[in-house]
Structure 1
Amino acid sequence: MATAATSNALNNSNGNTAGESSDSNNIATTNVPYPHIFQPLDLGHTKLKNRIVMGSMHTGLEDRFYNYGKLAAYFAERAKGGVGMMITGGISPNREGWLLPAGGTMNTRADVINHQRLTRAVHRHDSKIIMQILHSGRYGYHPFVVSASPFKSPISPFKPRQMSIKNIKSTVEDYARSASLAKQAGYDGVEIMGSEGYLLNQFLSRHVNQRKDEYGGDINNRMKFPLEVVKAVREAVGEDFIIIFRLSMIDLVKDGNVMDEVITVAKALEEAGVSIINTGIGWHEARVPTIVTSVPRAAFVDYTAEVKKHVSIPVMAANRINMPETAESILSSGQADLIQMARPFLADPDWVNKAKNGETDLINTCIACNQACLDHTFENKRSTCLVNPRACYETELTYEPAKKAKKVAVIGGGVAGMSAATVAAKRGHKVTLYEAKDILGGQFNYAKVIPGKEEFFETTRYFLNELNHQGVTIKLNTKVTKEMLDEAKYDHVIVATGVVPRSLEGTLEGADNPKVISYAELLSGEKAVGETVAVIGAGGIGFDVSEYLTARHGQPLHELGPETLKDPSYRPEPQSVADWKQEWGVDDNVDYQTDGGLTKPENIVPMRQVYLLQRRDGRLGKGLNKTTGWVHRAHIKSHGVMQMPGVTYDKVTNEGLWVTTPQGHSQLLRVDSIVVCAGQESVNDLMPAVTDIKKGKAIKKGKTEYHIIGGAKLAAELDAKRAIRDGAELAAQL
């Protein structure tokens, strides 16, 4: 039966969202910009002040007790930012459930003391905090891994031991003890992780569960273990405690569940005493992207809405929701009762308060790049955020008001320069930002026009608005000279002049042929290409260019005109959800009956023939980021890009590009165009000297200190993560 704690939150006969007043005018007359977001949710024994939940993210701080002060500051900043409820990173109920050796646990009284630092910090700001109990199952990176069946995952090097019935029963007790200790630590509830391919999901799905006993077979048997966990937890914590179950709404793996099975589990979870059902999408091993930037916003919300039709407790939507308009639309249409966002709160801890105050343009939007969050997690590093380097570094990277306002010049309007200028101005310095071109953004302007990277427009929008908000003087179309700087007598000059594409002229015969263009000329719309193209260089930029040339959505830049791209309000049309699902083989039926919701991907007819070449032998894209690189490699493969490693570039003629293959054969690629993506060179001519550049030391000239950051300090492939952090860290020290 539904618990007393949740029965008061059921949908009423008028069809209102769970927990809302039956007075429909209550929302319509509110003064906040997004009324459904800020409608409280009554759970009976407690009330959430709004419908926004910060979802679970493993930051790396959870695993060591001495980092809990930093973790408390991280959560406190987001609670202060207005979020109604937040969920911790995964905490294991026992040793077998560790994600990493000696991972974060909640199974002793000593753990309670550490976790109280988090709960007290959050409760000071009138927010709820939930501890996620996560048993990694066969995803754990340690030799004690267990699972429903003894099948090794593609994620961990360790083969799991099949859990015995005795092991299952003891694990149920471990969950209950962990939840009880969480309550003692001051948590408002627990989330039981049952999705993304972790242990309980492994039991729920035939993808892993091949057992022949009472815990295997049909869905009624496969869900027995998760239900026993929920019932034991409810009994241990009582009725006045939130229990969230994160349920996989679509597995996206072979032999995954169908929607009828998902609904069966959802109904049983409600009966077992769950307060809220949260959305999980896909397994970590799925070959369908679920959270990268190329996934359209709210691409999976229809599956959540289908489950919501069959239960009476609140249901939470998740995955690729990052702006208030999207969240409000989901809530107002009744597709979900709550919105979970995770990475958007790494990007901007004040997301909720900005939405409430109508300051959407000042939200530092998550661009779903994964470069500093998930990529760091898989590299066993502390998570942070590309667009917000303070994330998870709140106690170390502080923007305290400057003791004395200084006169600061920032030369270069790329992301490094904009980062430095905003932070310096926020601290009270008088800042002037110079940019030689008529648009800010630098190399980011090339990245943001790649189809699937439309979110990158939001970062330039954020910086433009923040620069104005902080009172930075912006001077476009201004080529700064050393004489200008000497005359202005700045206290600090920050050289953030970035990089320029490396030319092959002088190193490749025929590189001055009109067929040859740089990636900057292509992605700025300055020049166009023909129907057959060779891309020289298979790093991140080469892959981006190949995707730009082969993607079927997005308008060619040379047709838009330069003024369109300079318009701050311009947004390219992203790929539709329907087209994206067709391309990746995701069943578009909300009541899908295909295993795991998978269908056959659409056969793609390439827009043009592209050859992607690199000098180095071996697989192309080897250096791409772990969590997103496979997506890029899959794209160029499905779009017919010819991959050519280990080639030598010989010469360019009017016929095309001559190369020598790894076998020593001379070959002509008859191409109309050649796009050079062979790296960049730093622009640092304004520095009085270039010694100690890599160390980042200031160079004194008279009374002016010169600093160098970003690409000007070290040329690398569009490393926005390093550039933005460089700018913020330097400005925090001035």
Structure 2
Amino acid sequence: MKWEKLFKPIQLRRLTLPNRVMMGSMHLGMEGNKDQEDALISFYTERSGENGPGLIVTGGISVSPEGDGGHHFLGFYRDDDLRVMKRLTSSVHTANGRIAAQLFHAGRYAYSEMNGIPSVAPSPIKSPIHRETPKELNELDILNLLESYAEAGRKAKEVGFDAVEIMGSEGYLINQFLSPRTNKRADKWGGNFENRTRFAIEVLKAVRKAVGEDYPVIFRMSGLDLVPNSSTPEETVQLATKLEAHGADILNIGIGWHESTVPTISMMVPRAGFIEPALQVKEAVTIPVIGSNRINDPVLAEELLQKLDMVSMARPFLADPHLLVKAKEQSLDQINTCIACNQACLDHAFEGKAVSCLVNPRAGREHKWTIKKAAKIKTVVVLGGGVAGMEAARAHAELGHNVTLYEASSAIGGQFNLARKIPIKKEFDETIRYYTTELNRLGVEIYLNHKPTEQELLNHSPDLIVVATGVTPRQPVIPGIEHAIAYPDVLSGNVAVGKNVIIIGAGGIGCDVSHFLIEKGINNILLLRRNGKMGEGLGKTTKWAMLQDLKQNGVKFRTNLSYKEMTKDGLTIINTETDEKEFLKADTIILAAGQESNIPREYELLSQIGVEIAIIGGARLAGELDAKRAIYEGAKIAFEPETISIN
């Protein structure tokens, strides 16, 4: 691949960036937590350097106390946080990196029960995703906030940040002033477009005056709000020209508000699916413009850079901190690609947990999971080539151990080989490609279509045997169960499916199977669950979008029932609330009712003869399929051998 734009430097006032990739702002859930200080600094430092992103932008750092967005925020108004920021910038600069501070205020998205201070906004309008109504800012409040932004800019420069980014997107305070949906004021700070833009422009002017003419100021503006009755595309372009006129050096185009009912960064969204607003802004201004959202591939980035000046790739650096190093070395197959699952990043952030990554559990643990050759080289045998086994093999081999992997089927990948058949989960192909490349590169010996005997395992003289043999579908006890088919047979294309389908099980697997069938043109689907909610177990930030898509495609859901009997024509259920019996006609009944651990009994016996064994992933704990836990456990037994008794 020839890189014409990706590694071309760009100048922002006094700051030279060596490439055209920004690592966009991410709240890591480590900020403001003394126990996570080293983790925070190690996270950013590892992603720094000449072949790291041209510029890293921190998670939002609050300009005033009521502006915190929730759990664990840094604030420019706290002296101890300034000490942490100074440590951070020094460490990044030692690694030859560049880092900008995001000047942040949550507005009505703040949590007063966490901050201990009432939230504020241009108008007292409650967000649909918050319980509290914000206090309306008066004139003095607004003027004080302008000074808070200016002071934050001054302090950012003092503690060593290379630039600042003003957060004016994603429905936060500045965006709330800009939108007629949230700004109902009748004074000079609201009403017509000129007045609604006043706060954003005054913030920019205040920050510019505070940091000086030689210091880069980025403005993150909303290119598309994706909420009703908000800013128009014409207003967005006009705002961009005003920001240029008042000293913004580069515009970073954000997409969507947190309350939007349109998915913007999940794997359901096509790569670069929202790039058009950035292109429209680019046509209207002469300063550089940054495109964002679902850009996870350097080849795609190079393509977009033919029309834009920079691209923002945030979560892809969670998945692979050395993404650009590998791109520059033309080692694209070695990139651990972000699959936009949201499970360990956004879901963690909204739950108040430290952020990590499903495909790279070392993210956020760099300070303790260091990559160095082990003092004692072990012989490790891994049983099972699903994600738990692949990561266990990869991580041990990366630390210098001798690793052999056995897989009973014809290919590594396990349940991911089924998941990637779901139309919205094609990104899983990337994970299997990555592991295939890495296991070969690291010299892992792989045996496919083979289930080794006890003696074969002992012939390796193993120091450790990792049992990652996964799960088997659970078969519920229902009379006539032989008339049903298991979900793996459906996803593998081994069986024909009729037009009227009942799926027993409405968790993540049942929902995935529904998406698979919809793509095949089957839209008469009924999901059943004994009790509980549809999609239970799916991640918080993706569940709503997946269920919304299913409902829009006519998928129906029933619960509070028991299963009486299956026949070739359908299923008899009993309503557990009314005790009424009902026959549901179906051409095909599919079982997606959970998993059972698959641990061959003969391997359990090995522990009795002194062989150290670790049982991980679905083999250790079945339940709903959990790739995040499986990959984490595979890495943990390599990086934390003292906790090897994970079983």
Q: Residues 272 and 293 of structure 2 are in contact (CA less than 8 Å); yes or no, is this contact kept in structure 1?
A: yes
Q: CA deviation at 1:396?
A: 2.2
- Structure 1: distance between partners of 2:213 and 2:602: 66
Q: CA deviation at 1:279?
A: 1.1
Matches within 5 A, 1:204-603: 204-332=178-306, 334=307, 336-504=308-476, 507-513=477-483, 516-551=484-519
Partner letter of residue 559 of structure 2? P
Tell me which residue corresponds to 1:693: none
SS at match of 2:48: helix
- Change over 3 Å in CA distance of 1:42–1:414 after alignment to 2: same
Partner letter of residue 498 of structure 2? G
Partner letter of residue 414 of structure 2? G
- Structure 2: distance between partners of 1:146 and 1:687: 63
Q: CA deviation at 1:622?
A: 4.1
- Change over 3 Å in CA distance of 1:438–1:154 after alignment to 2: same
Q: Residues 537 and 676 of structure 1 are in contact (CA less than 8 Å); yes or no, is this contact kept in structure 2?
A: yes
Q: Which moved more, 1:320-329 or 1:655-664?
A: 655-664
SS at match of 2:381: strand
Equivalent in 58, 62, 77 of residue 92 of structure 1: 62
- Structure 1: distance between partners of 2:72 and 2:534: 36
- After superposition, the C-alpha distances for 1:381-421 in whole angstroms (9 at most, x for unaligned) are 11100000011111122333111211111000000000000
Tell me which residue corresponds to 2:587: 672
- Change over 3 Å in CA distance of 1:687–1:726 after alignment to 2: farther
- Matching of residue 105 in structure 1 with residue 72 in structure 2: no
- Structure 2: distance between partners of 1:198 and 1:528: 50
- Change over 3 Å in CA distance of 1:707–1:111 after alignment to 2: closer
Partner letter of residue 293 of structure 2? N
Partner letter of residue 449 of structure 1? K
- Structure 1: distance between partners of 2:553 and 2:71: 40
Structure 2: unaligned runs, 5 residues or longer:
642-647
SS at match of 2:61: coil
- Structure 2: distance between partners of 1:633 and 1:664: 28
Tell me which residue corresponds to 1:711: 618
Tell me which residue corresponds to 2:90: 120
- Structure 2: distance between partners of 1:249 and 1:686: 57
Matches within 5 A, 1:112-151: 112-142=82-112, 143-151=117-125
Partner letter of residue 542 of structure 2? T
Identical aligned residues as a percent: 46
Partner letter of residue 106 of structure 1? F
SS at match of 1:230: helix
SS at match of 2:526: strand
SS at match of 1:90: strand
Q: CA deviation at 1:66?
A: 4.8
- After superposition, the C-alpha distances for 1:62-95 in whole angstroms (9 at most, x for unaligned) are 1224533221110010014521110000110011
Q: CA deviation at 1:178?
A: 0.5
Tell me which residue corresponds to 1:681: 596
SS at match of 1:431: strand
- Change over 3 Å in CA distance of 1:65–1:177 after alignment to 2: farther
- Matching of residue 648 in structure 1 with residue 616 in structure 2: no
Q: Which moved more, 1:482-491 or 1:652-661?
A: 482-491
Q: CA RMSD in A?
A: 1.5
Q: CA deviation at 1:733?
A: 3.4
Q: Residues 291 and 312 of structure 2 are in contact (CA less than 8 Å); yes or no, is this contact kept in structure 1?
A: yes
Q: CA deviation at 1:621?
A: 2.3
- Structure 1: distance between partners of 2:118 and 2:544: 28
Q: Which moved more, 1:276-285 or 1:644-653?
A: 644-653
SS at match of 1:718: coil
- Matching of residue 726 in structure 1 with residue 629 in structure 2: no
- Change over 3 Å in CA distance of 1:105–1:367 after alignment to 2: same
Tell me which residue corresponds to 2:534: 620
- Change over 3 Å in CA distance of 1:687–1:245 after alignment to 2: farther
Q: CA deviation at 1:547?
A: 1.4
Q: CA deviation at 1:623?
A: 3.6
- Structure 2: distance between partners of 1:206 and 1:687: 67
- After superposition, the C-alpha distances for 1:243-295 in whole angstroms (9 at most, x for unaligned) are 11111101110111111100111111111111110011010000000000010
Partner letter of residue 218 of structure 1? N
- Change over 3 Å in CA distance of 1:154–1:63 after alignment to 2: farther
- Structure 1: distance between partners of 2:558 and 2:208: 58
Q: Under a length normalisation based on structure 2, what TM-score does the superposition of the two structures give?
A: 0.96
- Matching of residue 657 in structure 1 with residue 571 in structure 2: yes
Q: Residues 137 and 145 of structure 1 are in contact (CA less than 8 Å); yes or no, is this contact kept in structure 2?
A: yes
Q: Residues 534 and 671 of structure 1 are in contact (CA less than 8 Å); yes or no, is this contact kept in structure 2?
A: yes
Tell me which residue corresponds to 1:153: 127
Partner letter of residue 343 of structure 1? R
- Matching of residue 197 in structure 1 with residue 171 in structure 2: yes
Q: Residues 621 and 629 of structure 1 are in contact (CA less than 8 Å); yes or no, is this contact kept in structure 2?
A: yes
Q: CA deviation at 1:110?
A: 3.8
- After superposition, the C-alpha distances for 1:189-227 in whole angstroms (9 at most, x for unaligned) are 111111111000001001111111111111111010011
- Structure 1: distance between partners of 2:35 and 2:559: 47
- Change over 3 Å in CA distance of 1:341–1:98 after alignment to 2: same
- Structure 2: distance between partners of 1:528 and 1:243: 59
SS at match of 2:423: coil
- Structure 2: distance between partners of 1:447 and 1:207: 39
- Structure 2: distance between partners of 1:731 and 1:403: 13
- Structure 2: distance between partners of 1:626 and 1:221: 37
- After superposition, the C-alpha distances for 1:604-647 in whole angstroms (9 at most, x for unaligned) are xx733000110005x42244221011011101110001111112
Q: Residues 383 and 466 of structure 2 are in contact (CA less than 8 Å); yes or no, is this contact kept in structure 1?
A: yes
- Change over 3 Å in CA distance of 1:63–1:284 after alignment to 2: same
- After superposition, the C-alpha distances for 1:402-443 in whole angstroms (9 at most, x for unaligned) are 112111110000000000000101111111110000011111
- After superposition, the C-alpha distances for 1:665-694 in whole angstroms (9 at most, x for unaligned) are 22222111111011000011256549xxxx
- Structure 1: distance between partners of 2:36 and 2:318: 17
Tell me which residue corresponds to 1:634: 548
Structure number with the bigger relative contact order (C-alpha 8 A, sep ≥ 6) is 1
Q: Which moved more, 1:115-124 or 1:225-234?
A: 115-124
Q: Residues 32 and 81 of structure 2 are in contact (CA less than 8 Å); yes or no, is this contact kept in structure 1?
A: no
Partner letter of residue 23 of structure 2? M
Q: CA deviation at 1:149?
A: 0.7
Structure 1: unaligned runs, 5 residues or longer:
1-31, 557-605, 691-698
Tell me which residue corresponds to 1:49: 18
Tell me which residue corresponds to 1:16: none
